[in-house]
Amino acid sequence: MYKRFILEKAPLILTQIDRDKDSPTYGDCDRNHWHLKTRDFSSAILQQSGLFLALLYKHEFDGNIYFKNENMRDWAKATVNYWCKIQLNDGSFNEYYPNEHGFPPTAFSLYAACEIYKILNIEDENIKQKIKNTAYYLGKTIEYKAFNQEIASITAMYNAYLILNDEHIHNMLEKKLIRILSLQDEEGWFSEYEGADIGYLSVSFDMLAEYYMLSNDERIIQPLEKLLNFIMYFIHPDRTIGGEYGSRNTTYFLPYGLQVMANLGYQNAEDMLQILFYDEYSYNYFLNSVDDRYLSHYIMHSFMRALKIRDYKKGDKIFQYETAKYFPNAGLFVYKKNNIYIVLGLKKGGIIKIFKDNKEIYLDCGYRVKAKKSGGILTTNWQDNSYNIIQDGTKFVIEGYMNKVNQKVSTPIMHMGLRIISLLFGNKIIGFLKKKLIFANTKSNIYFKRIIKIEGDKVSIQDHIKSPDKITLEKASNMSLRHVASGKFFMNSDLLYNKKIYEKENEFRIREVIEL
């Protein structure tokens, strides 16, 4: 487990890094910057690649040609030196544009830089000062919407504390830790842009488990258990996980959190690892479509950290279950019986995924309407906590109003404007950009009501859409209108889209029955 994927992707990750010691960008992990010259700054979040190199250098396993190769050590150290070089004056870093002062590149890159520093036994006062600058920045900055980033900042700060032995850093991270643990939903998940998202939840799981491994803080065990017992319901029979019903539509999953829990004796964690990661030789492996950026980001070093601590103790399989499990706070419902598995995304307008005999056979992501006069697209499948949801056993009624989303296309003028504004206002514009790209929705006056009923060997869907004006209604694909950098990786689910158009009417009543 893990080894094939690691060894297959290692050359790809190395290709992303400037390995020329005479280059002015030696150690830069952003190939678009140092080699292709399509970006005029380096995206600091990609400096995490150096941690993958350091771990390959340090840990021996079958097929690891990189073990104890001094070039690997030099390149890994170079990534930390370059990280120091591109640090902004306040200790933060850029990810998407100059002078951004972004939270994710600051948190994740600090964690990686500290790990490399420890693994390679580096002693460098300049690097220590840069680590301190970043830890202090994170200590006075909070990420309120994406909890995986806030958890990453806590783990990164603890790593900095281990290197610097600075009690002020420890005091700051303790306040952040108490706050974030209090915000874990009683169902087990941490919020990602107003809902539960499985892929980003695996990042929270990864970083929280790493904090536990670094600190031995027993307060973390119960939150990890709650995470585990929530996630287990969303592993699909075809060995995929997450997707359209999550708040951010992600389809990847990091292994390290599960591996920590398996090592602590949680058999369901080991079962989940076997289901998700054992089949890495398959042509249809669920992580095969992840792009270079997110492999370089946190996926590959999560694999290496999981491999480093892998301790498989086979026990009785307890993961198999039959259930009808409703998570009202997350707006998710899971139904499993015999060879049938169904997930409903209720707070996304009633998204439906159906699996039979370990294969996904049906996907319904609701509807879209193109707003011709004002532009934009209206959709039912937007994460919306204002939808009215009524449950009666395995029958659900979801009603609300379509959300309108205006999609943005990058242009030279927009880029120029962004550069000027960021130079003047720095990270003060991040909230504005998130509003335009991530929270880019407004309520429309088009009403919808969906009734889903699971009964016996069939699922029935009744839809009612009503508009004051005549509209053309289209079945929505699984391409989310929400901007998510780690979204829209190809999955077989994409092939299930069945285009249907309902021509101009004020009102539509549509019924469908899926025989199982």
Number of structural domains, the chain? 2
Same domain, 270 and 411: no
Range of the domain at 371: 364-515
**344 inside domain:** no
pLDDT in tens, the chain (516 residues): 899 999 999 999 999 999 999 999 999 999 999 999 999 999 999 999 999 999 999 999 999 999 999 999 999 999 999 999 999 999 999 999 889 999 999 999 999 999 999 999 999 999 999 999 999 999 999 999 999 999 999 999 999 999 999 999 999 999 999 999 999 999 999 999 999 999 999 999 999 999 999 999 999 999 999 999 999 999 999 999 999 999 999 999 999 999 999 999 999 999 999 999 988 878 889 999 999 999 999 999 999 999 999 986 665 555 667 789 999 999 999 999 999 999 999 999 999 999 999 999 999 999 999 987 767 899 999 999 999 999 999 999 999 999 999 887 888 887 788 778 777 776 767 666 656 665 667 899 999 999 999 998 999 999 999 999 999 999 999 999 888 999 999 999 999 998 999 998 999 999 999 999
**Domain endpoint, select from 309, 324, 355:** 309
User: Could you tell me if 244 and 372 lie in one domain?
Assistant: no
Asked if residue 267 and residue 395 are part of one domain, the reply reads: no
Q: Is residue 63 domain-shared with residue 193, that is, in the same domain?
A: yes
**CA gap 516, 511 in Å, rounded:** 16
Contact at 8 Å (CB) between 504 and 471?
yes
In a domain, 329, yes or no: no
Angstrom distance (rounded) from CA 114 to CA 296: 17
Q: Do 371 and 304 lie in a common domain? A: no
- Comparing CA positions, the residue from 355, 361, 363, 367 lying closest to residue 398 is 367
Looking at 286, 309, 332, the residue that finishes a domain is 309
Q: Which amino acid is at 411?
A: T
Residue 117 lies in a domain: yes
**Distance from C-alpha of 378 to C-alpha of 481, rounded to nearest angstrom:** 10
> Which has the closest alpha carbon to 223: 259, 245, 190, 256?
190
Which CATH number covers residue 147? Answer: 1.50.10.10
Residue 423: both structure tokens together: 């130079």
Burial (CB count within 10 angstroms: exposed 0-12, middle 13-18, buried 19+), residue 122: middle
Domain boundary among 262, 285, 309: 309
| Structural domain contains residue 120 | yes
Are 10 and 119 in a shared domain? yes
- pTM of the predicted model, to two decimals? 0.95
305 and 424 fall within a common domain:
no
Query: Is 374 a domain residue?
Result: yes
| Spatial distance between the Cα atoms of 270 and 315, rounded to a whole number of angstroms | 9
Residue 325 lies in a domain: no
In this structure, the answer to whether residues 293 and 372 fall within a common structural domain is no
Within-domain flag for 127: yes
236 and 377: one domain? no
Q: Is residue 46 part of a domain?
A: yes
- The answer to whether residues 291 and 409 belong to one domain is no
Who contacts 411 (Cβ-Cβ below 8 Å, separation ≥6)?
A: none
| Structural contact between residues 286 and 333, judged by C-beta atoms closer than 8 angstroms | no
219 and 76, same structural domain? Answer: yes
Same domain, 281 and 416: no
